[in-house]
Structure 1
Amino acid sequence: MNTKVRLAVMNFLEFAVWGAYLTCMGNFLISAGMANELSWFYAIQGIVSIFMPTLMGIVADKWIQPQRLLGICHLFAGIFMLICWQMGYDALDQVSQQLAEHAGEVDFNPVYSNKGLFIVMYTLSVAFFMPTIALVNTSAFTILKNDGFDTVKDFPPIRVLGTVGFIATMWFVNCATLTDGSFFFTFDEAAGKFQYTNMQFFVSGLLSIVLFVYTFSLPQCKIIKKKTTSLMESFGLDAFRLFKSKQMAMFFVFSALLGMCLQVTNGYAGPFITSFQGSSDQTIAQSFAANNATLLTSISQVSEALCILMIPFFLKRFGIKIVMLMSLFAWVLRFGFFGIGNPAMPGVLFFILSCIVYGVAFDFFNVSGGIFVDQECASDIKASAQGLFMMMTNGLGATIGTLSAGAIVNNFCHQEGKFLVGEWQTCWFIFAAFALVVAVSFALVFNPDKNKK
């Protein structure tokens, strides 16, 4: 099989695992009586990303080939996610029982007795999954270079298949329904839809196991051995020397600031759009968008796929600073359009616009940033450096951003039945204002070497 095709399949499976639950998990948590913990479930991804990607990057640089470590991580991530799937049945059963006992009225605050264990299993799954994003990049860059390919030109089309995988599982869990033992697809509201149930975890866990098996077919990424000359190198921490460079230090700081935006819409776009089902305006409540939030937000990933293909042109034409600046201003529009729109016409057009600009918002920093890090660091610390980039964006940044967003949403919104309702518009405008401040600061402060190719 062609090298690029093999790497494309790897990326497809990698992000299909994530897409199965990332944008729709909030709907399940609300249904299972864990709405108050919603922000923590997304923050957990950031917390583990503070240390796990860097730790696994060190292991991949010094002891285990990155493609092998990728498979091992997915094996454990898949096992723990399948345990979450099994425990999810208990959560939904307990909530349903309490609803029945109280004639449909319940406060929805902690009703799941095994919630703590469920969170532990989810945390362990995420702890092994998050490093795989950096490991996929490291494996792809190494294999491409070993075969004589240009990473700037050839990596983006491969990465597109990752977004396609993300979209595929988003659509699947949006439409797939399991009711009374029967499996079918529907766009209509149904209690058995995967996007509202624990079945999304089953899809994710199963795909992780599949990717674990697939990694055995990938080419080797041989570890570059070198004689250690310092204590930092002995412990595999020499990637942190990148902070000695003012340019790289500023890059990582702004990576963290942008990371604060990453999980906000993943965590709250679904519950926000779904909450319109409780509107007194039946045109809004029964709209296609309100009842298919996961499908609507998948437009974001379609845009992402298209934008990845534009990265080589924009990087060569405008350079890393302008490309990343485009990303930051796109986040302003991403949040602002959510604040303006609603699921009915013409308001739904703003939701669609928000999803379209997401491609620029996500790709022009995350994917371009990965390429930038690969070009700026030495070959013996590439995996560690990618892990460091992940730590700053999906670790520190995402953790602080998700918990801050959760505090804002909990302040302006409250739960009524299975919906989060309140002053959502205020929340989105606060997020947009933050992104604007970061964008202006980045334009004034970050000045990369323009003469370096």
Structure 2
Amino acid sequence: MTPAIRIKLSTMMFLEFFIWGAWFVTMGTYLIHNLHATGEQNGTAYATQAFGAIIAPFVIGLIADKYFSAQKILGVLHLIGAGLLYYESTAPDFATFFPGILAYMIIYMPTLALVNSVSFKQMKDPSKDFPLVRVFGTLGWMVAGFAIGWLNWEQTGSLALTFKMAGGASLILGLLSFTLPDTPPGKKGQKTSIGDIMGLDSIGLLKKRSYLVFFLASVAICIPLAFYYNFTNPFLNEVGMKRAAAVQGLGQFSELFFMAAMPFFFVRLGVKKMLALGMLAWALRYVCFAYGDAGANYWMLIVGIVLHGICYDFFFVTGQIYTDRFAGERFKSAAQGFITLATYGLGMMIGYYMSGPIVDHWKTSATTHNWTTIWLIPGGIAVVVMIFFLLFFTDKKHTEEQPGLDIEEPSPGVEI
């Protein structure tokens, strides 16, 4: 890549995740305090991410891969997104807010794959070049959180401005996208089946017990993960943490550190221990939240946030590596799409819809909750998932290194 292209791609990644981080982290606090939403409504709003994750493969598979250049679709989606985000900042109540955020997540989630496609097209060696570009996405998310904390929007009730800030960034990225290197459709003129789009060609991998256990654990662990996404910021603000959105940025610092350290741990621990430690970290995080406070136990809140690196990297990144190795060359792309659809789609959706009623049930007043009990529930779920995984998962390299060789040919899907 030329320096100019590298700068453009890095800027693209920075803005892509700045946009998401600018409103997603604090949306729960905004809904509860500004729009007086219930916990159930809060969970429903966050569930739009899951709907977007389910629909995204169809946008990519039916449009980006076949008809239009990726950078042009990226530009159009972000320009539309800029208008929707501004609209969200003016919504007077939840009933008005929800349709807008649903529409926004349906068009935003496909852009996560599009920025990857645009990047990979320009790279001779993605394994070396992509991390150096993708890291700017993490920085963008962190800068958004620090900006919200520095501007003190949480304490002053000004979180509607987060949507305007994100909308402005979306407008900039939308315009920038049309200047990005051309990324033409890779499957123009080819027939595509529903099975191809959803990764269903890899469903035969579930015939292997190890992968079935991993798959079920992956879906199940996303249930407690949903509690973290939609209620951590409201919780931290309720217990009195100052500039909570900025402090939550420590989780991204942790993610960067453990991402860099993963090769060291992977060689020494192996797949099973890495995945189990990721699940254990989720349980420990919620214990820290359950008993942490803004006083003497403030350190527990910090530990809970910093554990994000182990929670995410040890489970999700290790799981992606395991899926790539287990599926073999024939099924690896389909398997990655299928596990993403199942976790960020099905698993997260269950978690979002479950978390809201639980938070509402343990409400102690108009503005307070019994957070100890609330956080111990997802913590308990994580422990159960970890025990199930440890009892039934085996990583038998000598028998399952290339399981795709004895998987029956999938039946053809409906061609699009």
How is 1:14-413 mapped onto 2 (pairs within 5 angstroms)? 14-36=16-38, 37-49=41-53, 51-59=54-62, 60-87=64-91, 91=92, 112=93, 115-144=94-123, 147-149=124-126, 151=127, 154-176=129-151, 190-191=155-156, 194=158, 197-225=159-187, 233=193, 236-237=196-197, 239-246=199-206, 250-277=213-240, 290-345=241-296, 347-370=297-320, 376=327, 382=333, 386-413=336-363
Change (3 A) 1:242 1:85: same
| Cα distance between partner residues in 1 of 2:272 and 2:75 | 34
Q: Secondary structure at the match of 2:307?
A: helix
Q: Which residue identity lines up with residue 240 of structure 1 in the other structure?
A: L
Counterparts of 1:124 and 1:274 in 2: how far apart (Å)?
28
Maintained 8 Å contact 1:9/1:161 = yes
Q: Does the 8 Å contact 2:29/2:234 carry over to 1?
A: yes
Q: 1-side partners of 2:374 and 2:194: how far apart?
A: 46
Q: Is the 8 A contact 1:26 1:270 kept in 2?
A: yes
Change in CA separation of 1:252 and 1:17 when aligned onto 2, cut-off 3 Å: farther
The amino acid that maps onto 2:397 is K
CA distance in 1, matches of 2:322, 2:79: 30
Write the letter of the residue equivalent to 2:149: N
The structural deviation recorded for 1:341 is: 0.8
1:214 to 1:311, Cα distance in 2 relative to 1, 3 A: farther
Give secondary structure in 1 for the equivalent of 2:156.
Answer: coil
Partners of 1:333 and 1:16 lie apart in 2 by 28
Deviation at 1:303, TM superposition (A): 1.1
- Which residue does 1:181 correspond to in 2? none
Describe the shift of the 1:333–1:118 C-alpha distance in structure 2 as closer, same or farther (beyond 3 A): same
1:433 to 368, 376, 380: 380
Indicate conservation of the 8 Å contact 1:53/1:391, yes or no: no
Match of 2:413 in 1: none
- Letter aligned with residue 245 of structure 1: L
Q: CA deviation at 1:380?
A: 10
In the alignment, the residues of structure 1 paired with residue 292 and residue 179 of structure 2 have an alpha-carbon distance, to the nearest angstrom, of 46
User: How much has 1:166 moved relative to structure 2?
Assistant: 0.6
Contact 2:287 2:376 in 1 (8 A): yes
- One-letter amino acid matched to 1:301: Q
Q: What is the CA-CA distance between 1:249 and the residue it aligns to?
A: 5.0
Shift of 1:129: 1.2
Match of 2:408 in 1: none
Asked if structure 1 preserves the Cα contact closer than 8 Å seen for 2:70 and 2:117, the reply is yes
- Listed one character per residue, the Cα deviations across residues 398-447 of structure 1 (whole Å, up to 9, x for unaligned) are 1111111112111112442xx3x232101111111101111222233344
- Cα RMSD of the aligned pairs, angstroms, is 3.1
Amino acid aligned to 1:46: A
CA offsets 1:108-157 (integer angstroms, 9 cap, x no match): xxxx3xx323211111111111222333344444543xx134x2x55444
Q: CA 1:373 to 1:359, structure 2 compared with 1: closer, same or farther past 3 Å?
A: same
Q: Which amino acid aligns with 1:18?
A: W
Q: What's the counterpart of residue 405 of structure 2? A: none
2:222–2:344: 8 Å Cα contact kept in structure 1?
yes
Deviates more, 1:365-374 or 1:262-271: 365-374
1:148 to 1:271, Cα distance in 2 relative to 1, 3 A = closer
**SS where residue 20 of structure 1 aligns?**
helix
Range 324-333 or range 127-136, more displaced: 127-136
* 1:160/1:309 contact within 8 Å kept: no
Q: Which amino acid aligns with 1:20?
A: A
Matched residue pairs, number? Answer: 391
Unmatched runs of 5 consecutive residues or more in structure 1:
92-111, 179-188, 278-289
Structure 1 residues 4 and 330, CA, compared in 2 at 3 Å: closer, same or farther?
farther
Q: Distance in 1 between matches of 2:193 and 2:155?
A: 55
- Tell me how far 1:164 sits from its aligned partner: 1.3
The amino acid that maps onto 1:214 is L
User: In 1, Cα distance between the equivalents of 2:198 and 2:348?
Assistant: 24
Which residue does 1:10 correspond to in 2?
A: 12
In structure 2, relative to structure 1, the CA distance for the partners of 1:28 and 1:228 (3 Å cut) is closer
What are the superposed Cα offsets for residues 183-234 of structure 1, whole Å, 9 maximum, x if unpaired? xxxxxx8525x4xx210111112222222233334444454449968xx737
Structure 2 gap segments, 5+ residues each:
403-416
Q: Distance in 2 between matches of 1:338 and 1:238?
A: 36
Hey, what's the Cα distance between the residues in 1 that align with 2:180 and 2:214?
A: 32
| 1:422 correspondence with 2:369 | yes
Partner of 1:393, secondary structure, is helix
Secondary structure of the structure 2 residue equivalent to 1:242: helix
CA distance in 2, matches of 1:217, 1:374: 33
Q: Which amino acid aligns with 2:287?
A: G
- Offset, 1:308: 2.2
Q: CA deviation at 1:374?
A: 5.9
Distance 2:130 2:388 in 1: 30
Quick check: 1:53–1:131 contact (8 Å CA) kept in 2? yes
